[in-house]
Structure 1
Amino acid sequence: MSKPLQTINYDYAVWDRTYSYMKSNSATAKRYYEKHEFPNDTFKSLKVDGVFIFNRKNQPVFTKGFNHRSDTPLSFDLMDFNKYPQNIALSPQTKQTFPPKNSPIDNPDNVPSTDGIIATRYGPAIYSSTSILKSDRSGAQLGYLVFIRLIDKSFISELSQYTAAGVEIADIESTDTYLPTLGSNIKLAKLSPTSERLIKNVDGKPLFKLVLYHTNTQAPPLLAPNVFILLAEMSMLLILAYSLYSYFLVTPVRKLAIDIQDMDRSREIKKLRYHYPITELIKVATHFNALMGTIQEQTKQLNEQAYIDKLTNIPNRRSFEQRLETYCQLLARQQIGFTLIIADVDHFKQYNDTLGHLAGDAALIKVAQTLTQQFYRAEDMCARFGGEEFIMLFRDIPDEPLQAKLDAMLLSFKDLALPHPSSDTAPYVTISLGACKVDPIEDYQFKNNSNVIGRQVSLLADKALYQAKDAGRNQYRKVSIRLDRIEECESSNPSDQP
């Protein structure tokens, strides 16, 4: 029951958006994160009842309680370490006076984490706590994130389904001090209809006990000796016949079917085994493998031709248009904003005229490599739009990170210092950028299709690019537009829009 809680807690804690939230000094940015990342629906979908964010000084930065089953707000006080000093065990990176029952989670990324059981004013709860780091697990630990889920009747009912046995919560009595704790290695000495285990709080004190109900059946009586011998002889004959039948026919065909099912399930083209006792199956596997090898090679070539630019080896325009359509649908349906950036190499015609087209191709390759270094999230992308133009997508990026990203792009070409002998702007290759940031509107019903969004955003970014060029190149211009303004732009002349 605690494993899913640990997984989602880790995903939210080791995340660039949570890290930026802790690092930001902007109250507006913090409120935006809290509102959009932890609405009531998030508690229901994640099956959590409480979210707590602490800084490095163990001070609460954000707290919210919401019962994900009854849809009622909850007010927790467990983060008051002065009132409940044992709850300092929630911190995965602080030396604790009352260490929790479980040691920190042994995850492959070595991110400090801990989990266990904690008492709240609404009853006991399971918790998971993970240090806040960037998605690539770099940077200083800015605090930690805690998720809790209450152990109530619905929790126990779900637990009973998993264990396929009856489970109940009971209060601890004075005679229960001898009971073993849950998870302790106890050898069973006799059969019993129930088992009882203690559950301890973060301070090591008993909190409640679990009562597990088992079936209590007796073994059937032994068969009569004569009947047993007859059944044994018949069973041996059946087993022998089935073994021969299975070895020569059933098992080889089953292996072949399993190999094909595994291939279909994994959506990967794999070679079949050749080791079959039936010659016909070996021939089938041989021809099948030859066919799959041809298909795999052709599929690889088609994918590269369809979605990868041959010169720069980055996504091409078709790949970009597919990703843009996905972003537009997320904007219209789920109010997730995005930013589209168009980049153009300054004075590229003069570069080709002076150094030749081979040098121009080499320059485009370096430009593509320099731009793609600015992308760290898998859902964002940089593609070659055509000629010396490149186009980029960033999903849901705030204004300050976007400003820093645009500045970093210009600075990266200054650091690259690729000579441009014919440029009137700088002695090295530079780019001009036009960016359009689309801001969502909560609960806004977009009346047009996603193609309208993509077309209008592209036009506005292209207009911003030409403004940057007219202003002297080697710079950027950016505009922002709300989702409701896109429909107004579609019904009027896009060139008249700001």
Structure 2
Amino acid sequence: MTMVTGLLVGYRYFFSLPNIEQSIEDYQNRELLSVKIALDREFVFLKTLNYDYAVWDDSYEFLQTLDSRYISSNFVDDTFKSLKIDGVFIYDMNFNLVYSKTHNYVQVNDFDAPEFNLQTHQKNKSILPLNYITPQNNSLQHSGFLKTQYGPVMFASHMIRKTNNTGEQIGAMVFIRKVRPSFIQKIAGVSQVDLTHSIPADGQFDTHLKKLTGSLQGGKIATQRRRVLLDINNEPLMLIDIKHYHQQLPILLDRDLLLTLIMFLLISLLGLFIINRYFIRPLISGAEALNKMLLRNTLSPLRMSNQFLELQVLIKGFNALFMQISEKNKELERISKIDGLTHLFNRRAFDEIFDQQWSEAKNERSTLTILLVDVDFFKQFNDVYGHQAGDAALQKVANVLNKTALLYQGVAARYGGEEFILLFNRLSDEQGVEVSNLLLNAIIDLHIDHIGSDIQNQLTISIGCVSINANSIIEQNIQPKSVIKTADELLYQAKKEGRNQIRFKSI
């Protein structure tokens, strides 16, 4: 009996416990990774907003002309609240601040942010993407955290470009959002990890603390641990305390092992079989499954069952975490592709759909039709009726466009500001013109008053319509961007020749 006990205890100490600890280590690695993923996801929304404003003809024109009407139309206090941002900064290529506005959208008051004056705070120049543009790296955007006198902020920056993503490098736009306590609560909710945070005082920072990178970084398993979040200047921004799901580490002698020893008195061979069948193999399978997930950098549920307490807790906890993260990721993915005001697809989502349907049109040799729609004299509409009425008008227009798109098995998206874009597959030229005229009349039938219009006293639209067949795509090697450019030129022609009309071209 003594020998059997020694063998079983030794087996647990030298083989089982290391496997259990490895499984817990893999699980804790996943928890840290989920925190890092949730943190990165928060930047998706800010970068999407920043991209939509930076890659826009109006922003590009403002940096060339410094027309104050652009500011008054786009960056009023209500804009900060609706976008959930706390600051906007526009710089030229020499890091000079062309325009800035900081407004706390929660407390509804302005505040100073001297750290974004890059002439007096030159170490912060790295917030702009132009610092990273090299022959080897042509990225036009950048994001991260920055330490300020009002606490940490997250930022997203992008080079200012035309709507079609062309034009010379003339400057950059930065959006910021304060890191509030609700930010950490949201990260904890998405990652399903218990988090608390604190702001380190100047000069009171443990330099041995590890950065938050999504792994244990060689550390041992523990019930809780501390990580530091650094800003872009490698200065300590925030201390994050992470409480792991496992509140008890595995012990040498547990109830299951004692029961096994008692059973071993009755029949040792049966005991050995049970240990091998119901303990060792599931442990190895679980560890291998988690290691494969780490190597593939993907999550999947553990499809295994076991009667041992540690593994039951581990398997159930991991699968519950997987389900919650999957649901959150699906929701975040959906939100990142939907325009918040009109609930249509945003431009980034449309670009993905357009590329996919472009390939399908080439393979199936079908026709694609693009409608680029612009609300006539919308600037004057906002000036006369206010931005809230303008938002309501855009929502009504978007509703009409979406219903029409669905009627013809198409897709509608907000392309920027008061511009919308519709995509149809397998429409004839006559149907393209028919849909365009249907939209013109449908918007007029909304009877939205517009005394600021130069053509009539109600809201109207102008449309540039392009139809392209598969033969043109293949034989003339036409690219998707050139089709949108043609639609934009037709829209410009329709606006130039009086608005409330369409201009059509078949390629």
Q: TM-score, normalised by structure 2?
A: 0.47
For the pair shown, the structure with the greater C-alpha radius of gyration is 1
More relative contact order in 1 or in 2 (CA 8 Å, sep 6+)? 2
Q: TM-score, normalised by structure 1?
A: 0.47
Q: Which has the higher helix share?
A: 2
